[in-house]
Amino acid sequence: MMRRSLLLALLIVLGAAAPAIAQFPIFDAHIHYSRLDWEVYTPERALSILAAAGVRRAIVSSTPDDGTLKLYEKAPKGVVPFLRPYRTRDDMGSWPSDPGVQAYVEERLKRGIYRGIGEFHLGVADVGAPTVVRIAELAAERDLFLQAHVDDVTIEKLLTLYPKVRFLWAHAGMSASAPTVGRLLERFPKLWVELALRTDVAHGGTLDPEWRVVFVKYPDRFMVGTDTWVTARWEIVRDYHRAVQAWLAQLPRDVGDRLEKWRAIVPGNG
């Protein structure tokens, strides 16, 4: 009991000494909880890592999809399930033309819990492949997002070929510049962008001026994300979001707030 009150007193002192950094409730648009992850972290442990990092809600997908369901069952309010079209990692390259993937996606969607399909990888040559066409139809019918890890040429082709579908562009194309992203946002109203792994947004902790311009112009079209693409990433979720909080705090408060409340996918998300 004494130790506990000592700890509490210490926390109060530390809190008072810390600089007043705005703490944004984080919406993480890029979490995976795949087979290798669930073999190391129980769902409870994974959820507690997210909570400790200030993540209030997260888009979760996994290979196979069972990992997403494990987290969703424990935290239906905190987990926004996306259906990844990979049964195993081997599907990553062949899925666009695989009828087995199409059947898997159609079967899983019957659960009715998903808000999107993805994250998937795709090359520009496969934009019109049969399973991609079918997934785009399903997304348009059910108003689901497609979370695509593709380059800028491929996202442009997807948006042109499937104009009824809302796209969430993973990693902002990984290497697309802020002005390129801005031009695509202007041209395509059904494009949203997440920033997982984009350390160029705030190299050395300072918000990049070109990114600032597009965040201020399109605050409702951006999301942050971690991408737990390998199991080791679960260990850095907390530090990653500490850095995110630091650059969010360099934006006007309402812009930072809007980046973190993805109303497009969770209406009324607060």
In whole angstroms, what is the distance from residue 244 CA to residue 28 CA?
11
How many residues lie near Zn ion (CB under 5 A)?
3
The angle formed by the CA atoms of residues 265, 227 and 172, to the nearest 5 degrees, is 65
The residues with which 8 forms a beta bridge, in sequence order, are none
The tokens for 59 are 């888009």
- Does residue 119 touch Zn ion according to CB under 5 A? yes
How many Cβ atoms from other residues are within 10 Å of residue 163's Cβ?
12
Q: Which of 200, 229, 246, 264 binds Zn ion (CB under 5 A)?
A: 229
CA distances from 43 to 13, 33, 69, 111, 113 (A): 33, 9, 10, 20, 18
The answer to whether 60 touches 80, Cβ cutoff 8 Å, is: yes
CB closer to Zn ion, 126 vs 227: 227
Q: C-alpha 1: how far from its chain's center?
A: 41
Q: Out of 147, 227, 244, 261, point to the residue binding Zn ion (CB under 5 A).
A: 227
Specify the stretch interacting with Zn ion by CB under 5 A; choose among 7-15, 126-134, 182-190, 220-228: 220-228
194 in contact with Zn ion (CB under 5 A): no
**Toward Zn ion, which CB reaches closer, 59 or 132?**
59
Minimum distance between the CB of residue 186 and Zn ion, rounded to whole angstroms? Answer: 26
Q: Using the rule CB under 5 A, give the single segment among 6-14, 111-119, 132-140, 205-213 that binds Zn ion.
A: 111-119
| Residue with smaller CB distance to Zn ion, 119 or 260 | 119
Interacting residue ranges for Zn ion, rule: CB under 5 A: 119, 227, 229
